[in-house]
Structure 1
Amino acid sequence: MESANVNIVSDCFIKPKFTSSEAQEPTYFSPWDLAMMSVNYIQKGLLFRLPENQDFSITAFLDDLKDSLSATLTHFHPLAARLSTVKQQNPPSFSVFIDPNNSPGARFIHSSVSLTIADILTPTDVPLVVQSFFDHHKAIDHDGHELSLLSVQVTELIDGIFIGCSINHMVVDGTSFWHFFNSWSEVFRSNTIARPPVIKRWVPAGSDPILTLPFTREDEYIDRPNPPVLRERIFCFSSDSLAKLKAKVNSECNTTKISTLQSLSALMWRCMTRARRFPGDKETGCRLAVNNRRRLSPPLPDNYFGNSIQTVRVTTTAGELLDHSIGWTAWRLHEAVANHDDKEIRELMDSWVKSPFVYKMGAYFDGNSIQMGSSPRFDMYGNEFGLGKGLAVLSGYANKFDGKVTLYQGREGGGSIDLEVCMLPENMRALETDEEFMSVVRGEIGF
């Protein structure tokens, strides 16, 4: 199955149905955006069952998708553009921006593969072929100078349809990615958008609205890591099991403040560290992606379209982590998130303006830590496109490494969460037999 070929049936570009004067102006980036220049595109998508009614036509369906995408791009016009760079000689620096000129639009691919839904969802691990359901394989954001900033790939299976989006991570974070996806589904159903995006980027007070990067050589800001072969598996946590975990964690700390996500992150950090069999004095960390929109004062609107995320990191030694209770771990994560406030965000951004940097995947994600990304709060299963509720959320190659954990909305709803876990094969085998971890997966956790 891994060698099943995904065949391209057709390939075109989609432009916004209407172009406003705002859409003809360049869009300049925030520090949050520019720091993403060397990471991969965000690649997420939904698997649907093929409608059983005789009237369904894939040709008509694709036409409807293209038409609704064009209407959606009227509002999300940066996704139809490309990146451009202007270089300055004295001092040596350059600025990168979203350039609406001379772009063919967003890419739209129709592909097919001779596989069934069961071939994708039945195996223990996510099949490698899923990576071929996404365009821009291994692309980094800087490639958006030549590649489309958005590429949609619709893959026909024998009994299903997969709709995958690859979006440049300089242009969107997870919140904005799903805001676009939700809006596209909404336009498909009703030709309306309830929450138009706010396109103008936030920059720190007192800084130039056009931020520059003080680099002269590509190797200062371009990094294309080649991660080792990983196993990728999705674990499902019921709302009941998560409620028990949260209650246990809070009880241990005599508090009610620790969230479900902080409790689950503590579990993953402990169990993945145990699976890696580190010596007791080895430093290990847990990074949590945090949405800054509501943490700023005044807050940014929820429909702010761009990046507004940072990570908070807690570190300790493997011995200290495993010697203490899960409540001790969760409380430390809780404190890190609680302390990430307006003052800290602005200090970090002011520091970035004084000394700009970009995240380099190879250096940023060390093999001793874990990173919790995405969010189960995103509306993933509300995107139906006339096909009914999706069967699974799946992702591509992008931004995966040993220790990456991606949080998804559970398909059963009600506060359930699905985790996509990436680990080295020997470490994944150890995680699968970790009793603390598997007891929560099975819902058998007790006090």
Structure 2
Amino acid sequence: MNSSSSVKIVSKCSLKPKTIPEESKQPYYLSPWDYALLSVHYIQKGLLFHKPLYSIYTLLEKLRESLAATLVHFYPLVGRLSPPKAEKPKSYSVFVDCNNSPGAGFIYATSDLCVADIAGPTHVPLFVHSFFDHHRAVNHDGHTMSLLSVQVTELQDGIFLGVSMNHTMGDGTSFWNFFNAWSEIFQAQESNKTESLCLKNPPVLNRYIPQGYGPLYSLPYSHPDEFIRRYKSPLLKERIFCFSSETTRVLKGKVNQMCGTTSISSLQSLTAFIWRCITRARRLPLEQETSCRLAADNRGRMYPPLPRDYFGNCISALRTAAKAGELLENDLGWAALKLHQVVAEQTSEKVSQMIDHWLKSPFMYQTDRLFEPMSVMMGSSPRFNKYGCEFGMGKALTLRSGYAHKFDGKVSAYPGREGGGSIDLEVCLAPEFMKALESDEDFMSLVSI
């Protein structure tokens, strides 16, 4: 089955918070981490469920009602980026305006597709992109587009819940904290609990702004054309590879034994494994450099640390590199230790240096310039509670993502559905490299399905 022709938009509406917080009437200023993302895509992640026993209209009403209650806590998501002002030459200001905005987007769509059409194929079908709003939008488009948009797609036998969130509003930690909070409020309302507006872990909305700097940054640009670069994804094959809890445990133990340590994590071990396997699949010249990046949450690394529920961006893509020859000639432990060292070296001093550098010379990340060709980027995290979002429909059957941030060598780590330390990797590769990876017996011997 093919393309978005199988997905029909039935209705669209905008949602405001159930009650309007007083603080939402003030401008909401962003942090350096947030501004740096103005030129990259929205975050697009979604969950596939079996269809509930009650009617779709009952489900839609419950989703809208619980979302409006959740937005009380996450009120910046109902805003828009302020109309840009070039106050003087080379001075461009941006903040979130929660007053002059229709609200968050809520879309109901239908499809003649089935759960098996999404979860069944070996490679993720392209039509999955049509389950998300804001296709190909960059964050700067939040001047005219909603900062949050939810698309509920009714399938023949299932529901796909696709969420698109402007990346200047938060990183993966923030995104999944929001998703979990929405599910928590939905479940509480299902149980008729009077405290359904309360959250176990409410978001901390105060953005990190370094001491001595005012809340409004004037970016050194006269026009968005100077920093917006729209990224177009190449032709890719995308596949979810599942690694059981037993496999990740054994791999971690093997790597630590090789290195004479106990400190290398499951994710670092698995990242080293996929980096070597993808490099082998690409058949790179032995002298060619290949890099690997690992997304790292800086909240706990800062001094003083930011709250765990800090809502915003607080990540770095930590880089290590090696020549293809030395990566493949050395054992797996050698690669894992390189990754472990770069994570261990991410101290509060390093984070502060990065922020100071940005404040002295602001810049915008651009996907095609940030990641070198023939690199591997491990994004997302198996620690996010993705399968905890149930919405009265039971545990999700699987996760899928939209068009955003896909390139040759992009890998995203998700918790495995079975839990217990299992990890699923969403791997995007050029077709010839995917074919070679799938023919790699060393790699496929660790894949459970």
Q: Give the alignment's TM-score, normalised by structure 1.
A: 0.96
RMSD of aligned C-alpha atoms? 1.2
In structure 2, the CA distance between the partners of 1:442 and 1:197, relative to structure 1 (3 Å rule), is closer
Write the distance in 2 (CA, Å) between the matches of 1:91 and 1:132. 40
| Aligned AA (1:429) | K
1:365 aligns with 2:366: no
Write the distance in 2 (CA, Å) between the matches of 1:111 and 1:91. 45
Per-residue displacement from partner, 1:220-274 (whole Å, max 9, x unpaired)? 2101122211000000000000111111111111111110010011011111111
Greater mean deviation of Cα atoms: 219-228 or 281-290? 219-228
Alignment of 1:37-436 (within 5 A): 37-51=38-52, 53=53, 56-90=54-88, 92-190=90-188, 191=196, 192-436=198-442
* Cα displacement (A) at 1:91: 5.1
Write the distance in 2 (CA, Å) between the matches of 1:330 and 1:200. 36
* Cα displacement (A) at 1:212: 2.1
Write the distance in 2 (CA, Å) between the matches of 1:38 and 1:263. 32
Write the distance in 2 (CA, Å) between the matches of 1:43 and 1:5. 20
**8 Å Cα contact 1:108-1:151 kept in structure 2:** yes
Per-residue displacement from partner, 1:163-215 (whole Å, max 9, x unpaired)? 11000000010000000000000111112311111111102222232222101
**8 Å Cα contact 1:85-1:94 kept in structure 2:** no
Write the distance in 1 (CA, Å) between the matches of 2:311 and 2:88. 32
**8 Å Cα contact 2:17-2:70 kept in structure 1:** yes
Write the distance in 1 (CA, Å) between the matches of 2:87 and 2:146. 28
Q: Identity over aligned residues, as a percent?
A: 57
**8 Å Cα contact 2:86-2:222 kept in structure 1:** no
In structure 2, the CA distance between the partners of 1:442 and 1:70, relative to structure 1 (3 Å rule), is closer
| Aligned AA (1:118) | A
Write the distance in 2 (CA, Å) between the matches of 1:133 and 1:88. 36
In the alignment, which residue of structure 2 is the partner of 1:2? 2
> What SS does structure 1 have at the residue aligned with 2:47?
strand
| Aligned AA (1:43) | Q
Greater mean deviation of Cα atoms: 197-206 or 405-414? 197-206
Write the distance in 1 (CA, Å) between the matches of 2:155 and 2:432. 32
| Aligned AA (2:61) | D
| Aligned AA (1:82) | R
Structure 2 gap segments, 5+ residues each: 189-195
Q: Give the alignment's TM-score, normalised by structure 2.
A: 0.96
Write the distance in 1 (CA, Å) between the matches of 2:149 and 2:251. 39
Greater mean deviation of Cα atoms: 120-129 or 198-207? 198-207
* Cα displacement (A) at 1:86: 4.6
Write the distance in 2 (CA, Å) between the matches of 1:376 and 1:330. 17
* Cα displacement (A) at 1:319: 1.0
| Aligned AA (1:184) | W
* Cα displacement (A) at 1:411: 0.4
**8 Å Cα contact 1:400-1:422 kept in structure 2:** yes
* Cα displacement (A) at 1:283: 1.1
Write the distance in 2 (CA, Å) between the matches of 1:92 and 1:9. 44
**8 Å Cα contact 1:80-1:150 kept in structure 2:** yes
Write the distance in 2 (CA, Å) between the matches of 1:232 and 1:64. 33
| Aligned AA (2:56) | I
| Aligned AA (2:246) | D
**8 Å Cα contact 1:284-1:318 kept in structure 2:** yes
| Aligned AA (2:80) | R
**8 Å Cα contact 2:92-2:223 kept in structure 1:** no
